Chains A and B, each alone.
Chain A
Amino acid sequence: MPVLSATNLRKSYGELKVVAGVDISIEKGECFGLLGPNGAGKTTTLRLLLGLIEPDAGEIEMLGEPVPKQARRARLRVGVVPQMDNLDPDFTVHENFMTYGRYFGLRDAEIAARIPALLDFAGLTNRADAKIQALSGGMKRRLTLARALVNDPDLIFLDEPTTGLDPQARHLMWQGLRRLLSQGKTIILTTHFMEEAERLCDRLTILDRGHVIATGSPRALIAQHIEPSVMELYGEQVAGWGQQFGDQLCERHEVVGETLFCYSRDGEALTENLKTRPHLRYLHRPANLEDVFLKLTGRDLRD
Chain B
Amino acid sequence: MTHYFHLPQLSLRFIPVWRRNYLVWRKLAIPSMLGNLADPMLYMLGLGFGLGSLLPDVAGVPYITFLAAGTIAYSTMNSATFEVLYSGFSRMHVQKTWDAIMNTPMTLDDVMLGELTWAASKSLLSGIAILLIIWVMGLQASFWMTLWIIPVVILIGFCFSGMGLVMNAISPSYDFFLYYFTLVITPMVLLCGVFFPVSQLPAWLQTVSSILPLTHAIDLVRPLMLGVTPNQAWLHVLVLLAYGAVGFYLALGLTRRRLLS
Contacts and interface: CB of A to CB of B under 8 A. Distances in A.
Interface string A79-114: 010101011111100010001101111000000000
A95 B20 CA distance: 10
A91 B105 CA distance: 21
A53 interface: yes
A50 interface: yes
Contact of A80 (B19, B103, B260, B261): B103
Interface in A26-58: 50, 52-54
A92 B78 CA distance: 30
A89 B96 CA distance: 10
A99 B96 contact: no
A54 B103 contact: no
Contacts of B97: 86, 88
Contacts of A253: none
Nearest to B17: A103
Contacts of B106: 72, 103
A54 B260 contact: yes
Contacts of B53: none
B104 A75 contact: yes
Chain B interface residue bracket vs A: 20 to 34
Nearest to B102: A52
A99 B103 contact: no
A76 interface: yes
B206 interface: no
Contact of A91 (B23, B99, B101): B23
B100 interface: yes
Contact of A103 (B23, B95, B105, B261): B105
A55 to B, nearest CB: 12
Contacts of A80: 103-104
Contacts of B99: 82, 86
A86 B27 CA distance: 20
A50 B20 CA distance: 23
A148 B101 CA distance: 11
A95 B103 CA distance: 18
Contacts of B95: 86, 88-89
B100 A88 contact: yes
Given A90-B27, A103-B16, 7 more contacts: A52-B102, A54-B260, A75-B105, A87-B100, A99-B23, A103-B105, A151-B104
22 contacts: A13-B261, A52-B102, A72-B105, A72-B106, A73-B105, A75-B105, A76-B105, A80-B103, A82-B99, A82-B103, A86-B97, A86-B99, A87-B100, A90-B24, A99-B19, A99-B20, A100-B100, A100-B104, A103-B16, A103-B101, A103-B105, A148-B103
Interface of A: 13, 50, 52-54, 72-73, 75-76, 80, 82, 84, 86-91, 95, 99-100, 102-105, 148, 151
